[in-house]
Each structure stands twice: as structure tokens, then as C-alpha cells.
Structure 1
Amino acid sequence: MSRTHPPSEESKERDVETEATSSENTTAPQPQISSDQAVQPTKTENIENGAPATPEEDVIPEGGYGWVVVGCIAALNATTWGINTTYGVYSSYYLANNYFDGGSPLNYAWVGGLSVATCLLCGPLANAMSRWLGFRVTMMFGVAGIVLGQCMAGICRTFGEFLFCQGILFGLGLGLTLVPSQPLLAHWFKKRLALAQGLGTAGSGLGGLILSNTTRLAIDHINVKWALIINGLISLVCMVPAVLLIKGRHKAVGARQAPFELKWIVHPGFVWVWLWAAFTMMAYFIALYSLASFATSGLHLTQTNGAALQSLLAAGQMIGRPLWGYFLDTGGRINLTIVCYIICGISTLAIWLPSKSFGVLIFYAIIQGMTGGTIWSVAAPLTARVVGIKDLGSALSIFWLILVIPALVGQPIAIALLNYSQNNLGRKNAEAYYISIGLCGGMAIFATGLLYGAKRWIQGSWKVFEKT
């Protein structure tokens, strides 16, 4: 049987080619690109990046289920960083009552720094476990560490036991929970990423605001043991549903989970981001852990006043993080981060340093809460702005790893300067804190200059007011 259709089709193709050639020679129009051809480069690029070829799957939703993810991350932050904020309440009580043998201001400062340093040190481990086991299983291990760390800290009898439970086990739980969750909002938001990240991290302020007061009440009306155990159980109840409901779009965005890529340390744009973060992190922990101590030891206010300042600082975080997120999305992420930390540094030097009353400290606590902890909400948006969404997880892994030492030594340095002021310079009360407070404000301002290097790398010029 002869085949008639192929010749007919070939004839049609020749006719079309002849017609197209004739039309091209007579009218010489601009080449028209079909919709399929227009998206072809995007398809090729997506395939090379390891993402699905269908372009619709690569469109960032800018919401949808992403708002559920925002709620989950807010709940996680409330019962991780929010509870970590209460350490200022605990340490103030430990010092006032000589709770653990071998405890001293410097030793307790190491515990607070160690928990955060351990958390940040988990970056490569958390990424590797996420690749092998999935991010939810990894986060469940983190939940176990957080709950056990707090509950076991409640039954500790020696400072060494407490150091392990509160500093290492709790910190390990923080890292395995928070590192895998950090890049997830970038899977759901692009234009409103900083706002979404700000709303999610505002949970730490809400948790700190509530738990600082409930922890103080539990210590006063029950005891420290049960305050720690109760907070551990609160973490369990809030975190398990959040981890089960949280979702990512790793395949759709072509996300990579490389646990240890040292190239990000010398990346010409990213190097300025992590240098900024290193100094900012030290300033943040000095303010977070020293403000209540300054109130009680420097100005001789009550423990209740110290806990109230911790609560107000947390309230400032709850308000400031989504607010700065909105500003970052509208005015430029790097530009507004620089403005934020200029305000943070100046307020530290102009308000906290000369403060002599509880009312002034209230004002400073709110400003510090609104600005000082912004690093936690802008880390992912800033990193995405420099390296892109695809490499966000890998770059953040190195970002957190670099911040281990700054987080660990920030508060101990402040305590060492406090001891030097008291023992060598003979300063007492509020004056003994002046060097530490000056260091805190100075590092926040200095860090903004470093971040300007990233701005210059992105925009290719030194223009100050260009949106970046």
C-alpha cells in the first residue's frame, strides 16, 4: 500500500517555507517569536538548574499555602528563639540566688552563647540530614533536642550538667529545627519575601513577650525546675503540628542542599553580608543578655523590672520584624537594613549608655527589639538577593557556620569588659557597663559600613540612594 500522507505533508512544508521566504524577501518584517519559542530559554535554563521543565511550576506563588508556612515558622520561632529569650530571666535568677555551684556571670554568659553557637554550627549537619532523611524528619530530631534540653535542664544539679543540657542539647535542637526551615519562605514568596520572613520571625518576639512573663511567674510561684519543664512541654505542643504542616517547593525552585561549600566565604558579594552579620550578631547578644542585668545590677532595679524589659524587647521584635520586612520589600533590602542598624547603633549610644531610670530603659528596649534582632528576619532575604534562591540553602549553611564564633563570644566579651571596668578601673553600678554598651553600639554602626560593600557589588556603583 502506498503512503500518500507524508508526501502531502512535505509538500505543505515546502509551500509554507516558500511562502515564508517570499514574504521575508518582500516585506522584511521583524521575526515574530511564538509563545512556545519565547519560553524555550526558560525551559532550558530550568532543566540545567535541575528544576522541572514546565515553567508554570517555577512561578513563585507569592502566597497561597505560603501563608500557612509563615504561620508554622512563626510558631517554631515562638517556641525556640522566644524561649531562648527567657534565658535572660533564668540567668538573672541563677546569679541572684547562687543556684548552681561554680556558676558566675561569665560562666552563665557562656551558656547563652553556647546554645546559639551550637545552633549555628549545625548548618552543614542540618543540610546533610535534610538531603538524606528529608527536612521534616530532621526538624523532628530538632524538636526532640529542644524539649529534652529544657526538661533535663530542670533536673540538673551541677553547672556542668546544666551547661550540656541548656547549652549543647538545646542548641542542637535549635539548629536542626531552624536551619532547614530558613530557606522555605523563599520557595513561596519573592516580591514579598522580606515581609513574609518578618512575619515568621515575629513569632520569636511574641513567644519572648509571653514566655518571659510566664517564666518569671513560674519561678516565683513554683520553682526553676518546673519553669524549665513547663517551657519544654509548651515547645512540644506547638512545634510538632508546625513541623507536620510546613511544606517546601524544593523541586520546583531547583533548590540545592549542599551542606559545605566554602566558595561562599570568598564570594565577592556574599563576603560583605557575612562580615556584616558577624559584628551585628555580637552586638545583638550583648544587648539581649545584658539589658536586664544592667537594670538589676547597674541601676539596682527589681528582678521584676528586669523581666519586664526582656518582655518589652520581645514586644519590639514582634512589631519591628514584620515592619522592617515591609520596608525592605518596598525600599530595597540592603538599603533599609543599613538604615535599621544605624538606628540600632545610635540608640544604643544615645539612649542606653546614659540611661539612669527604668522609663528610659523601657524606651530603649522597644527600639532595640525593633532593630537589633532584625538579622534573623533579613538573613534569608539578603542572602537570596545576593546569591539567588537556588543556592540559598547552601549559602545560608555557611552563613550560620561563620556566625558560630561571634554568637559564642559576644556576651562573654561584654562580661569580661564589665569585670575589667569593675576590677581594674574601679567603676561601679551603671558606669561599669559603659565599655560593653559602647562596644555594642559601635559594632552595630560599623557593620552597616560593611553591608554597603554588598550594595556596591550588586548595583555596580557607589550610589547611596539607588534601590538595592
Structure 2
Amino acid sequence: MPPVGGKEEVEEIECAKATAPDGGYGWIVAICTFMCNAATFGNVTSFGVFLSFYRQNDYFPGTSDIQYAFVGGAIVAIALVISPLSNYLGNRFGFRLPMIVGVLLYTGSQIAAAFARTFWELLLSQGIAMGLGVGLIFIPLLPILSQWFNKRRAIALGLATGGSGGGSLVFSIVTRASIENLGLRWAFIVNAVVCLVVLIPSVLLIRDRSHVLGGKHNMEPLELRWLWHRGYVWVWIWAFFSLMGYVFAVWTIPTFAVSGLGLTQTQGANLQAILAAGQMVGRPGIGLVADRMGRINTAAVFTFVAGLSCLVVWMLSRSYGVLIFFAIIQGMTGGTFWSACGPVTAEVVGVKDMGSAMAILWIICVIPNLVAEPIGIELINYSGQVLGKQGADAYLIGVGFTGGCFVVGALALLGTKRFVQGNWKIWERT
């Protein structure tokens, strides 16, 4: 890896690598991070169940499909856009205080959403406030876990990010059952209670190793230099396009099942759960492969496979069985970014600068998370209203767009590989 700073900086990075225990209490931190991801992004990923219910039942009269889509996009976009604030608070007060504030805000926002009566109340509660809570919880996690691992970093981060799949599996089933048996209000309340019970002990058990990196949390609020860094620019291009594909795929599968294939709401929720089960297997698996094949190599290959699954399998899906097959493949590969962004960033910039580099990455990721689903819905509406396509055929342009985004993201990582290796040898372990 080319030096990213002066001699002192390189020495600090090497010191951190040398002293990383690669296990021990680090596995407790990994498990706690798994649980945090399950209760935050696992819950957020199940927004597809809410979206399908809102659209099918016109729950907030006068609200368009685009507006509903922006609620889900706002959750992740707000969570990422506050990364500089989260980093600043982590430096100023330690990582735990902002995380606890985030837990309270996150669970409170779901209680508030339970009593929403208009679209704007829903946007403020389930969208903006929930996103603020997720951001304060999630942003410190990747740098902290990376402090505990070097050779096993990718598998540890893969295990931890697999929590979003586990959480999505649980919350997809629980949310659908709660809506059907208790109503939308109680679905929010049940989810909030579950999140609170999971998050509080997890946050309290997490420890960092900031003394290794100079005695502080070592996160700069924002450093713009990563926008034009010769190696990192390709990382954020990969992030942008792969997330455009990922967001649309994850949140559209239940709607495609119901509106495109005429399946039931329960079958749509089941597909979301199957996709989540794929994430549980795929994300740790990606980490395991990454530690053997190279982290950049693995990220590029699995992102490319996610694109092919859209262009070859999803585009031809006309039955529940084929859609299940797609959900499994997409679940295992579509979220490659979330498993690999930390290890890939560490490969390019080093552990010491990981927090500041990823702060830029999170800001860039705001755009695809915010607009991917609305763009996809507009493409579906164009196919239906202008081209006269019906059922599954109305989704073809959107599915093609999704697959294309994954492929472009995978190809962008070749630039990162070239920077780290210093050559264009594609099969070199990087």
C-alpha cells in the first residue's frame, strides 16, 4: 500500500496493526456491533414492508409513491449526512455518549411515528428523526471494530455487518405480523421496544482501543482531501453506484411481488425476510473470502455478481419460486458495500485515517440512498403510464437500471486496485 502521509503517520499505522489482538475481547465488540446493526439497519431495511403497506392501502391519503419512497431514503441519508457531527462528538465526549443519545432518539422516533397522521409527521418521525438516531449509533462502529483486528478485519466486519441481515429477517416478519394482527401503530411500538432492549446492553459493552492511536477516538469531523485522493476517488464511485442498485433492489422486491406478480402482502414480506437471511450468510462470507482473496478483489467480484443477478434472474422473474432464488442471491451479494467498505477503506488510506475518509464516504452515500428508490419508482411509472407496460413488465427498465449500477460500481474498483498494486494485474491479491 502506498504511503498516505509522512513517516510518523506510517509508523502509527504499522503500530496499530502490530498491536491489534485479532480476537479476544474484539469478538465481543464484533457481536455487539452485530446487534447494533441488527437493531438499526436491520430495522431500516424492513422499510420495504412498510412501503408496500403504505402504497397498497393508501394509508396517508393524498401521499404519492414518490413521497413514501423519500421517507425510507431520508432514514439512511440523514444517518450518513451527520457523520461529521458524530465524529466530532466522538472526539469531544467519547463514542459512547452520542451512541446513547442516538438510542434514545431512535427509539423515540418510532414511538412518534406510531402516532403520525399526515405524511409530514411520518417524514419527520420515521424519516428524519429515525435517521438522526441511526447515524449517532452506527457511524462510530466501523472504526472501533477495525481497531481490534488486522488479519481478520474483513471477517470481523463481515460478521458485524451481517447483523443488518439478521435484523431485517426478524423485523420483516415481526413488522408484517404486527401490522396484520395489531395494526400499524403497534408495529412501530413493538419495533421500538425490541430495539431499545437490544441496543442498550450492546452500546454499554463496546470498548475502543483509542490509546493505540494516540489516546483519543481519532476521527476528524471532515477532511475534503479524500474527494480527490487518487485511490479513494474510485472507492466512493463504487459506493455511489452500488448503493443506487442496492437500495432499489432491497426496497422494491416486496412491491414487485405484490404489484408486479400479483402475490400477497405476506409473500412480499417473506421475500424481504429471505433476502435478509441471504445477508446473514453473505456478509460474513464476503469477509471470509476477502481475507483470503483480497479485500478489493472480493468487493469488485461480489458487486458484479449482484448486478448480474438483477439483469439475468430478476428481469426474468415471473413466479414466486424464481423470485425467491433472486432474493437469496441478491441478499448474499447486494449489500457487499456494507461488508467491504471498511476493509477496502483501510486498505487504501490506513486505519488511522479511516474515520475521516469514511466521513466523506458517508456524505457521498447520502445521494444514492435518498434518490435511488424515487428514481426507480419514476422509471416504473414511466413504463406503465407512457409505454403502457403492465405487471412485471413495468419494472423492466428499473431492474435494468439497478443491475447496471452494480456493474458500474464493480468496474470502478479496478481503479482502486490499480492504485494499491501499482499495476493492472487483475488477479493479483489486493
- Please tell me the TM-score bracket, short chain as reference: over 0.9
Which of 23, 39, 43 aligns to 1:79? It is: 39
1:448 to 399, 403, 410: 410
On the 8 A contact 1:150/1:166 being kept in 2, the answer is yes
Q: What's the TM-score once normalised by structure 1's chain length?
A: 0.88
Q: Distance in 2 between matches of 1:228 and 1:55?
A: 46
State percent identity of aligned pairs: 48
RMSD: 1.9
Q: How does 1:55-74 map to 2 (within 5 A)?
A: 59-74=19-34
Give the equivalent residue in structure 2 for 1:251.
211
Q: 1:212, 1:152 → 2: CA distance?
A: 20
Q: Indicate which of 314, 330, 342 corresponds to 1:368.
A: 330
Answer yes or no: is 1:276 the counterpart of 2:233. no
What is the CA deviation profile of residues 175-217 of structure 1, one whole-angstrom value per residue up to 9, with x for unaligned ones? 1110011211110001110100011111111111111111111
| Structure 1: gaps (5+ residues) | 1-44
d(CA) in 1 for partners of 2:177, 2:409: 38
Matches within 5 A, 1:59-208: 59-208=19-168
Q: Is the contact between residue 213 and residue 311 of structure 1 (CA under 8 Å) also seen in structure 2? A: yes
User: Letter of the aligned partner of 1:72 in structure 2?
Assistant: C
1:222 and 2:182 correspond = yes
Does residue 291 of structure 1 match 2:253?
yes
The runs of at least 4 consecutive aligned structure 1 residues that moved more than 3 Å come to 45-58
- 1:313 correspondence with 2:245: no
Give the direction of change, closer, same or farther, for the CA distance of 1:327–1:55 in structure 2 (3 Å limit): closer
Change (3 A) 1:56 1:439: closer
CA offsets 1:273-305 (integer angstroms, 9 cap, x no match)? 001100001100010111111110011100011
Match of 1:399 in 2: 361
Q: Mark the runs of 5 or more structure 2 residues left unpaired by the alignment.
A: none
1:377 aligns with 2:339: yes
One-letter amino acid of the structure 1 residue matched with residue 135 of structure 2:
G
Distance 1:425 1:56 in 2: 58
Aligned to 2:262: 300
**Post-superposition shift, 1:95?**
1.5
CA distance in structure 2 between the aligned counterparts of 1:379 and 1:386, rounded to whole angstroms: 11
CA offsets, 1:233-278, max 9 Å, x none? 1111110111110011112034621111000000000000001100
Separation in structure 2 between the aligned mates of residue 131 and residue 148 of structure 1, nearest angstrom: 25
Matched positions, count: 424
1:345 to partner: Cα distance: 0.7
CA contact (8 A) 1:118 1:175 kept: yes
Q: Which has the higher contact order (CA 8 A, sep 6+)?
A: 2
Q: Give the Å deviation of 1:52.
A: 8.8
Q: For residue 101 of structure 1, report the CA deviation from its aligned partner.
A: 2.5
Q: Which residue of 1 is the match for residue 427 of structure 2?
A: 465
Cα deviation, residue 50, structure 1: 11
Deviations along 1:305-326, one digit per CA (max 9) or x if unpaired, are 1000000000000000000100
- Offset of residue 102 of structure 1: 2.7
- Seen in structure 2, the aligned counterparts of structure 1 residues 195 and 293 have a Cα distance that, compared at 3 Å, is same
AA at the equivalent of 2:377: I
Distance 1:253 1:368, change over 3 A: same
Matched residue, 2:316: 354
> Does the C-alpha gap of structure 1 residues 311 and 463 become closer, same or farther in structure 2, counting only changes over 3 Å?
same
In structure 2, distance between residues paired with 1:400 and 1:230: 29
Closer/same/farther in 2, CA of residues 350 and 425 from structure 1, 3 Å limit:
same
- 1:151 and 1:56 map into 2 onto residues whose CA distance is 42
| Aligned ranges 1:25-36 → 2 under 5 Å | none
- Separation (CA, whole Å) in 2 of partners of 1:318 and 1:53: 31
